[in-house]
């Protein structure tokens, strides 16, 4: 193991690694909000048979520390669930039951432990579905770093669950308690938001937490402008991947451009893959030539190689900004492209993807650009 730092908690000490793995990792796999939550729970002396729902545990800090209880882990992130599994194995802890965000937790929970997500649309989606599970306000406790907690976040929690109150800060983290539950809960609001683009001829919807909600991303539009320049015959029976697909915009337009192609959609967000599947059905005459993968990049892929990978990489993982996910996408693309296959990637000019791709691939050229974005074509 490359990281020897330990998370010390009232429930024991745990060695935790982030995902994706990086050499000389400088970031911890937990923060003070995790520690604050665990200290709070330890004071409550819950019996070992207590059933706990852990929501949005990024790398397993909460799941490992609370493994002696009957824990379930509800998350939109496949990467987070895989990290929890890896760290449970490292620390010989019992794995929690994993529940995808597209499914609903069921039954009675003695505590709901909630790490507040960055996305307010995801927060509303989750809290509205947690409300029927709460029998008493004291069964809920949330946490985040203080700099991410503001009045609008507390108001959203108040609308979804009940009157919310933030604790004093501890090591720049804060807890969120619910003083009283909403009495007028009437079910869930529709999280499906639709956007039309007449120029592209598509109508796409996004579930909560899916990138570029309510608008068409400019970087993706720049990449789509470059599709006719790609050296791939339009009549070819090509095998194409939309890596980090989000709502499936790139893959849907590619499936229209290459009408004989099979297109595979990959994303680590359960809600993103669900959005892409729904958008394929709404925009393509033949959705049977499309496949869908809820995966950490292409970690679990074992199918035939690709002729082309389309990619608009994210440059953050929750609140952490960096290119580590993009680097993992480039590595997996290289692994699963056929010899002579292409990776077409779009990114902000300042990110310097050209340098990285030139080191990994046989050739890397600029295919298209505008004042902010550049589209690169890398050949295996």
Per-residue pLDDT of 204-231, as tens digits, reads: 999 999 988 888 899 999 999 999 999 9
319: confidence class by pLDDT, cuts 50, 70, 90: low
Q: Is the CATH code 3.40.50.150 the one for domain 193-379?
A: yes
Average per-residue pLDDT for the chain: 94
Q: What is the pLDDT of residue 275?
A: 98
- Does the predicted model carry a pTM greater than 0.85? yes
pLDDT score recorded for residue 2: 45
The percentage of residues in the chain with a pLDDT greater than 90, rounded to a whole number, is 87
CATH number of 6-181: 3.40.50.150
Quick one: average pLDDT of 307-313? 97
What pLDDT score was predicted for residue 26?
Answer: 82
Domain ranges of the chain: 6-181, 193-379
Residue 118: exposed, middle, or buried by beta-carbon count in 10 A (0-12, 13-18, 19+)?
Answer: middle
- pLDDT tens by residue, 54-99: 999 999 999 999 999 999 999 999 999 999 999 999 999 999 999 9
- Mean pLDDT across 276-282: 97
Q: Which pLDDT score, from 0 to 100, does residue 104 have?
A: 96
Would you say the CATH fold of 193-379 matches that of 6-181?
yes
What is residue 54's predicted lDDT score, i.e. its pLDDT? 98
Q: Are 244 and 219 in contact (CB under 8 A)?
A: no
For residue 309, the model assigns a pLDDT of 98
Residue 317: its pLDDT value, please? 45
Q: Any bridge partners for residue 162, and if so which? A: 181
A 10 A CB-CB count for 249 gives: 30
Q: Could you tell me which of 78, 73, 119, 35 has the C-alpha nearest to residue 318?
A: 119
Residue 265 DSSP SS3: strand
What's the average model confidence in pLDDT over 141-165?
96
Distance (Å, whole) CA 75 – CA 269:
9
Question: Looking at residue 3, what is its pLDDT?
Answer: 47
- 3 state DSSP class of 6: strand
| Class of residue 254 by CB neighbours under 10 A (exposed 0-12, middle 13-18, buried 19+) | buried
Confidence check: pLDDT of 185 > 80? no
How confident is the model over 89-129, as pLDDT tens digits?
999 999 999 999 999 999 999 999 999 999 999 999 999 99
**Mean pLDDT of the region 132-152:** 96
Q: What's residue 189's pLDDT?
A: 87
Among 46-50, 183-187, 351-355, which is the least confidently predicted range? Answer: 183-187
Residue 22 — very low, low, confident or very high, per pLDDT cuts 50/70/90? confident
Identify the CA nearest to 20 among candidates 203, 268, 265: 268
Q: Find the DSSP H helices in the chain.
A: 32-43, 61-65, 78-90, 120-130, 151-160, 218-225, 249-257, 270-283, 324-336, 353-360
């Amino acid at each position: 193991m490359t990281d020897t730092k330990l998370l010390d908690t009232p429930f024991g000490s745990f060695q935790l690694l982030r995902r994706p793995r990086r050499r000389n990792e400088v970031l911890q796999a937990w923060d003070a909000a995790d520690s604050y939550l665990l200290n709070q729970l330890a004071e409550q002396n819950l019996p070992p048979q207590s059933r706990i729902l852990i929501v949005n545990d990024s790398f397993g800090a909460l799941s490992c520390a609370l493994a002696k209880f009957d824990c379930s882990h509800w998350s939109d992130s496949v990467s987070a669930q895989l990290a929890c599994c890896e760290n449970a194995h490292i620390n010989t802890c019992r794995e929690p039951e994993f529940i995808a965000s597209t499914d609903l937790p069921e039954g009675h929970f003695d505590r709901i432990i909630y790490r507040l997500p960055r996305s307010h649309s995801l927060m509303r989606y989750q809290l509205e579905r947690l409300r029927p599970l709460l029998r008493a306000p004291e069964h809920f406790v949330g946490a985040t770093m203080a700099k991410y907690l503001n009045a609008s976040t507390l108001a959203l929690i108040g609308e979804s669950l009940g009157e919310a109150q933030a604790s004093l800060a501890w090591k720049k983290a804060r807890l969120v308690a619910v003083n009283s539950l909403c009495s007028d809960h009437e079910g869930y609001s529709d999280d499906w938001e639709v956007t039309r683009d007449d120029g592209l001829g598509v109508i796409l919807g996004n579930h909560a937490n899916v990138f570029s909600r309510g608008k068409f991303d400019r970087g993706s539009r720049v990449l789509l402008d470059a599709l006719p320049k790609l050296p791939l015959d339009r009549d070819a029976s090509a095998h194409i991947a939309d890596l980090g697909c989000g709502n499936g915009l790139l893959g849907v337009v590619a499936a229209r451009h290459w009408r004989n192609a099979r297109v595979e959609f990959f994303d680590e967000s359960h809600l993103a893959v669900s959005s892409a599947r729904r958008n394929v059905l709404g925009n393509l005459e033949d959705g049977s030539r499309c496949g869908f993968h809820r995966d950490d990049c292409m970690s679990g892929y074992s199918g035939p190689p690709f002729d082309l990978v389309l990619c608009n990489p994210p440059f953050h993982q929750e609140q952490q900004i960096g290119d580590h996910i993009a680097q993992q996408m480039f590595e997996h693309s290289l692994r699963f492209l056929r010899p002579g296959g292409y990776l077409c990637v779009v990114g902000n000019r300042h990110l310097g993807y050209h340098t990285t791709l030139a080191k990994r691939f046989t050739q890397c050229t600029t295919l298209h650009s505008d004042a902010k974005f550049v589209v690169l074509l890398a050949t295996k």
